[in-house]
Amino acid sequence: MHRKLSEEDAAFQQEMRDFFTTKVPQDLRDRWAGGGEPAADDIRAAQRLLNEAGLAVTGWPTEYGGRDWSTLQRHIWLTEMQAASVPPPLAFNASMVGPVIATFGSEEQKKRFLPATANLDIWWCQGFSEPDAGSDLASLRTTAVREGDEYVVNGQKTWTTLGQHADWIFALVRTNPDAPKKQMGISFLLIEMDAPGVSLRPIQLIDGGHEVNEVFFENVRVPADQLVGEENKGWDYAKFLLGNERVGVAPVGSIKRWLANAKAHAQQITTAHGTLLDDPLLAARIAELECQVMALELTALRVAGGSRDGKPDPASSILKLRGSQLQQDVLELITDIAGPSGLAWTSIQDELAWASHATATYLNFRKASIYGGSNEVQRQIISTGILGLKG
């Protein structure tokens, strides 16, 4: 595979680079690059700028705002956006529930939800994980009982990311507890967060931030027309959604930017023999990570867009696995470079201000090997779905 772009693709890359670096305000991109808890207003502002330019929901069908791009163009779009520190379109909207509604939803649901979802006029959150159903998602116990033209929902979701900002939640609920397999009898419901009986409780993380929540449903009445697709077929839609999610969790552009930052940070720190960047062990560690990122990028080019006929490409599990590992490796490198300065949990107003975010960011991204299907689950998919091994 040649890594040199054709003239057409190079022009496309420059077009994306120009847009992201000139049309998205610098101060917004600086805040995003600085790390810490994301600001909801920044995420909304960025997505609306992208949507206005037709760059927010590029993976959707073209009739709903998608772009008929090649796999390489989609990769370039995403990589340039990450490299410019532009907040990406909210994943819950752009790469999760949006494609599910566009593919499996009714015509009424498409008209009602897709434009608002693309423009982030509706903020979605994900109602999948439960206290005893995370990695083993099919064990979920939240129930939805059909009563006339409504479902009555009872149960609890947890680790609901950014749920405090959400207007709606897309939830997996059990509609047939007597199904012969636990993956059967699950449905995909769209629920308003301000519906009577829905409550939310924040979970404070180890880095002190509030990014995830618990969501409780107590006799919540949901109109039956908010069921996506067929009743008891929700597991199929969830697998489609998770396949798309895994493609998006190999942030090659972000990892490259973090690596460049790591080198710049190391150059700031003086040692007896120059700067920390001159240390041969550190240089070797950076070089090894750069090689691994290059391999990940090539794999992403092969896998992106591999979802066909509503079924995820099992190779997307490779991206999820390696993408999350490399994220953590690079952030651990930055934490090591920060050294004792990384122990500060309040902002440092000097040239080492980045160091005060290093440890918190590293700890936050430990979650990357759990969400989107744990890395242990990805290894099972790779062994059975790609290598053909039998357990």
Q: Using CA atoms, how far apart are residues 276 and 283, in angstroms rounded to an integer? A: 9
Count the neighbouring beta carbons within 10 Å of the beta carbon of residue 162: 21
Over the range 49-78, which residues count as b (16 or more CB within 10 Å of their CB) and which as e? bbbeeebbbbbbeeebbbeebeebbbbbbb
Question: Which of 58, 52, 60, 50 lies closest to 20, judged by CA?
Answer: 50
CA 26 to CA 15: how far, in whole Å? 17
CB atoms within 10 A of CB 7: 7
Q: What is the rounded distance in angstroms from the CA atom of residue 17 to the CA atom of residue 78?
A: 10
Which pairing describes strands 198-204 and 227-228: parallel, antiparallel, or unpaired? unpaired
Answer yes or no: are the C-beta atoms of 172 and 187 closer than 8 Å.
Answer: yes
Give 212's contacts (C-beta < 8 A, 6+ positions apart): 158, 159, 160, 161, 162, 163, 202, 203, 205
Query: What gap in Å lies between CA 51 and CA 67, rounded to an integer?
Result: 12
DSSP state of 35: -
Structure tokens belonging to residue 198:
């829905």
* List 147, 245, 290, 297, catalytic entry: 245
93 contacts 162 by C-beta, under 8 angstroms: no
- Assigned token pair, 185: 């009898």
- For residues 40 and 208, give the distance between their C-alpha atoms in angstroms, rounded to a whole number: 17
Instruction: Identify whether 245 is a catalytic site residue.
Output: yes
* Largest CA-CA distance found in the chain, in angstroms, rounded: 77
Question: Which residues are annotated as catalytic?
Answer: 245
